[in-house]
């Protein structure tokens, strides 16, 4: 063993003062030379320190020190030294193994940490930035770039997804290279193997040069280079990561002049670690891309659903989108207020997304409401007023015929006088006037405004009037359904129709409950379910009260009412001006129906500007 050490030329024997004389011959016999023990810092291992009996070892070096007895014969000294040297070599081996184990453990921990961070990052740009920064830190690299495979007119290419350079700012530019053997990244992806270059300008035989284009553009010198393919879970190469210029010190900025002294080669042990991170990164990017496409798919589906609802009732086109913009705007404003009941309300990104979907789909249940109710613009259903009008014309003719007959009979009789005939004309006029009054009352009652008292009582009287048809059968002037519709006090829907209209909320809830939302989105059905509830319990369908209604829903309700009032495109309902709409909302809030504080934020922060027509 000593021979082996001697041959390696690395063995040191340090002699404390007063011991050298006794060891010269023994050392020579072993083919070693003693060095006088000096500064403890200068001690090179493997080594043995020979001390006089009782002498203290330099700090931290006790385990390689020996103290031979003063009277030990040369043979014993030789044996002692031999064992000590063997021990020293073994201890060094152990230390190296321990160091290696520690390093591997650190690497393992580091890879674990990176793996967790990679799978947690949702933002693709940040994800790529994190990958490059971590790789640079682990290898002391000055620059790094991430290339992803894409297809351009059926030709596979690599595009530069992200890049960093510690010494130069803003080196990123959208850039593509073909997947071929002419560029280092192209070569790496084509071969599917990692490439270590000591000098990018002098690549190993048969491999492409690197860095020259970049260097010419930025006044840089690319020297050492490590390029690693990225493989996804199918083991397909989906891109590459390139690290350039490993440095002695991480925080040194390079110039063309300092490259030679500061830049070193990438170490072979870097390779395995970077390859491992590159593959984790590939999987993370793949996952993220997959998630993005699922998200896009779902957004498309939601958009299509919204279009489906709004196409059934073109007069509400854009309503869901506007409610979404208003509610999101209000929610952001609420998270910014520092005083009041809601000063501590903070919504996460996920909660904002949840709220957006709830708003977009809040009225989706209208697909379950029959169309004639959904778009009912007057109290009577279409065609009904025309039927009444025809009936009135018939009655008018009948009245005219009746008085004409009466007149004829009077003329035929002997005692007819002018006064009598004029009296018949007056009664005819009176009856026709009454018919016109009634019909006007019907036409105005048909409008979706609040029904005035006098019109209501006139309808009441009319409903008891009858007329006789051609075959002599008696009919009411207004049938029960016509009377019921025309007697609607407010809006255009009777009790039954109103219930069907209101059922859209329950339909929305049932529909939304059928979607297997991710856990962070599971609040959507409940948020949408409450959008017609009022804080005082007068809303529908459940008559919830303030504490039972989520704040998200309270915000949506304000936006929903505001948009319903101000919507420009409803032919049967004039849009209410902004000021009046806010007044109506404030009246509702003062009556304890809407959340006052949220409405104040809505008004003072001018959330309504978000949907103002420009």
Give the residue with the Cβ less far from Fe ion, 12 or 362: 362
Binding piece for Fe ion, criterion CB under 5 A, among 252-260, 266-274, 386-394, 558-566: 558-566
Size of the site for Fe ion (CB under 5 A): 2
d(CA 554, CA 533): 8
CB 493 within 8 A of CB 370: no
What is the nearest approach in angstroms of Fe ion to the Cβ of residue 324?
11
For Fe ion, give the closer residue by CB, 163 or 553. 553
Residue with smaller CB distance to Fe ion, 270 or 560: 560
Which span sits near Fe ion by CB under 5 A: 29-37, 181-189, 278-286, 554-562?
Answer: 554-562
Nearest to Fe ion of 270, 363 (CB atom): 363
> Candidates 46-54, 82-90, 129-137, 560-568 — which segment interacts with Fe ion by CB under 5 A?
560-568
CA 273, CA 355: separation in Å to the nearest integer? 42
Candidates 363, 482, 497, 595; binder of Fe ion (CB under 5 A) is: 363
CB of 179 to Fe ion, least distance (A): 51
Query: Closer to Fe ion at the Cβ: 363 or 482?
Result: 363
d(CA 564, CA 541): 19
- For 197, half-sphere exposure in the C-beta direction (CA atoms, 13 angstrom radius) is 27
| Closest C-alpha among 123, 114, 122, 168 to residue 145 | 168
Rounded to a whole number of angstroms, the minimum distance from the CB of residue 509 to Fe ion is 11
User: For residues 422 and 470, what is the distance between their CA atoms, to the nearest angstrom?
Assistant: 27
Tokens at 465, concatenated: 């009037």
Structure tokens at 313: 């009732």
Q: What is the DSSP string of 416-453?
A: --HHHHHHHHHHHHHHHHHHHHHHHHHHHHTSSSPPPH
Task: Supply the minimum distance, in Å, between the C-beta of residue 495 and Fe ion.
Answer: 18
Q: Which is nearer to Fe ion, 142 or 363 (CB)?
A: 363
Q: Shortest distance, CB of residue 471 to Fe ion, whole angstroms?
A: 48
HEC secondary structure over 318-330: CHHHHHHHHHHHH
Q: Which is nearer to Fe ion, 237 or 360 (CB)?
A: 360
Provide φ and ψ at 150, rounded to 5°.
-150, 170
Pick the piece of the chain touching Fe ion (CB under 5 A) from 79-87, 120-128, 152-160, 559-567: 559-567
Closer residue to Fe ion in complex, CB, 203/318: 318
Task: Please tell me the distance from the alpha carbon of residue 444 to that of residue 433, in angstroms, as a whole number.
Answer: 16
| Rounded-to-integer distance, Cα 201 and Cα 205, Å | 12
Q: Is-contact 463 483, C-beta < 8 A?
A: yes
Tokens in use for 16? 């404390």
Least distance in angstroms from the C-beta of 426 to Fe ion: 55
Alpha-carbon distance of 456 to 450, in angstroms, equals 10
Please state the closest distance from residue 521 (CB atom) to Fe ion, in A.
Answer: 20
Of 36-44, 188-196, 358-366, 570-578, the segment contacting Fe ion by CB under 5 A is 358-366
For residue 354 the two structure tokens come to 């949840």
Length of the chain: 614
CA atoms of 174 and 450, how far apart (whole Å): 63
Q: With respect to Fe ion, which residue has the nearer C-beta, 240 or 374? A: 374
The phi and psi torsions of 243 (rounded to 5 degrees) equal -110, 140
Question: Residue 146 pairs with which residues in a beta bridge?
Answer: 162, 241
Which tokens is 184 given? 């280092």
What are the tokens at 428? 């005819």
Question: Closest separation between CB of residue 310 and Fe ion, Å?
Answer: 11
The residue among 303 and 444 lying less far from Fe ion, judged by its C-beta, is: 303
By CB under 5 A, the residues from 172 to 201 that bind Fe ion are none
In the complex, what is the shortest distance from the CB of residue 556 to Fe ion, in angstroms, rounded to a whole number?
A: 8
Closest distance to Fe ion from the beta carbon of 359 (Å): 9
CB of 613 to Fe ion, least distance (A): 19
* Among 84-92, 346-354, 357-365, 603-611, the segment contacting Fe ion (CB under 5 A): 357-365
Q: Of residues 275, 310, 497, 560, which one binds Fe ion by CB under 5 A? A: 560
Q: How far is the CB of 535 from Fe ion (least distance, A)?
A: 17
Q: What is the largest CA-CA distance in the chain?
A: 178
Q: Toward Fe ion, which CB reaches closer, 142 or 560?
A: 560
Q: Interacting stretch for Fe ion, rule CB under 5 A, among 61-69, 431-439, 450-458, 552-560? A: 552-560
Task: Give yes or no for residue 324 binding Fe ion (CB under 5 A).
Answer: no
Please identify, using beta-carbon distances, which residue of 210 and 329 lies nearer to Fe ion.
Answer: 329
Full DSSP string of 212-243: HHHHHHHT-----EEEEEEE-TT--EEEEEEE
Q: Tokens in use for 236?
A: 């397909």
Q: Is 354 in the site for Fe ion (CB under 5 A)?
A: no
Q: Rule CB under 5 A: which residues touch Fe ion?
A: 363, 560
């Amino acid at each position: 063993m000593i021979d082996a050490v001697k041959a390696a030329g690395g063995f040191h024997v340090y002699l404390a003062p007063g011991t050298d004389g006794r060891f010269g011959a023994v050392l020579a016999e072993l083919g070693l030379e003693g060095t006088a023990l000096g500064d403890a810092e200068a001690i090179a291992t493997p080594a043995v320190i020979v001390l006089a009996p009782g002498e203290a070892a330099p700090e931290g070096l006790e385990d390689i020190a020996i103290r031979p007895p003063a009277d030990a014969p040369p043979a014993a000294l030789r044996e002692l030294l031999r064992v000590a040297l063997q021990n020293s070599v073994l201890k060094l081996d152990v230390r190296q193994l321990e160091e290696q184990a520690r390093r591997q453990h650190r690497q393992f921990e580091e890879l674990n940490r990176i793996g967790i961070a990679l799978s947690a990052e949702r933002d693709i740009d940040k994800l790529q930035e994190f990958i490059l920064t971590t790789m640079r830190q682990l290898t002391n690299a000055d620059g790094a770039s991430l290339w992803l495979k894409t297809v351009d007119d059926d030709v596979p290419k690599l595009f530069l997804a992200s890049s960093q350079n510690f010494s130069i700012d803003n080196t990123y530019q959208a850039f593509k290279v073909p997947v071929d053997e002419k560029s280092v990244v192209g070569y790496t992806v084509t071969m599917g193997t990692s490439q270590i270059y000591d000098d990018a300008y002098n690549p190993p035989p048969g491999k492409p040069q690197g860095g020259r284009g970049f260097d010419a553009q930025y006044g840089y010198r690319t020297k050492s280079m490590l390029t690693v393919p990225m493989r996804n879970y199918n083991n397909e190469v989906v891109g590459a990561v390139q690290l350039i210029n490993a440095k002695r010190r991480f925080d040194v900025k390079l110039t063309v002049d300092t490259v030679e002294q500061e830049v070193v080669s990438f170490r072979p042990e870097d390779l395995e670690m970077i390859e491992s991170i590159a593959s984790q990164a590939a999987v993370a990017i793949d996952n993220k891309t997959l998630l993005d496409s699922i998200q896009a798919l779902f957004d498309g589906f939601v958009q299509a659903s919204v279009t489906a609802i709004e196409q059934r009732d073109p007069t509400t086109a854009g309503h869901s989108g506007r409610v979404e913009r208003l509610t999101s705007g209000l929610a952001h404003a609420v998270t910014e207020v520092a005083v009041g009941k809601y000063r501590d309300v903070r919504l996460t990104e996920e909660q904002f997304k949840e709220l957006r979907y709830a708003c977009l789909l809040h009225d989706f249940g209208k697909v379950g409401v029959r169309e004639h109710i959904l778009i009912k613009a007057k109290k009577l259903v279409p065609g009904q007023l025309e039927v009444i009008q025809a009936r009135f014309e018939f009655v008018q003719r009948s009245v005219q015929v009746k008085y004409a007959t009466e007149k004829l009979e009077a003329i035929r009789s002997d005692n007819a006088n002018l006064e009598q005939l004029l009296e018949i004309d007056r009664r005819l006029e009176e009856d026709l006037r009454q018919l016109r009054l009634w019909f006007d009352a019907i036409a105005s009652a048909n409008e979706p405004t609040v029904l005035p008292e006098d019109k209501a009582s006139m309808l009441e009287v009319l409903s008891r009037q009858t007329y006789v048809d051609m075959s002599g059968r008696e009919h009411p002037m207004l049938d029960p359904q016509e009377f019921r519709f025309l007697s609607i006090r407010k809006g255009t829907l009777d009790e039954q129709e109103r219930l069907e209209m209101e059922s859209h909320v329950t339909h929305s809830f049932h529909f939304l409950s059928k979607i297997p939302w991710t856990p962070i989105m599971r609040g959507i059905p409940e948020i949408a379910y409450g959008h017609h509830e009022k804080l005082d319990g007068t809303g529908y369908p459940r008559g919830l009260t303030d504490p039972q209604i989520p704040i998200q829903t309270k915000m949506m309700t304000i936006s929903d009412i505001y948009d319903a009032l101000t919507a420009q495109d409803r032919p049967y309902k004039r849009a209410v001006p902004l000021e009046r709409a806010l007044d109506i909302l404030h009246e509702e809030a003062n009556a304890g129906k809407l959340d006052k504080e949220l409405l104040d934020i809505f008004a003072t922060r001018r959330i309504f500007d978000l949907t103002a027509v420009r």
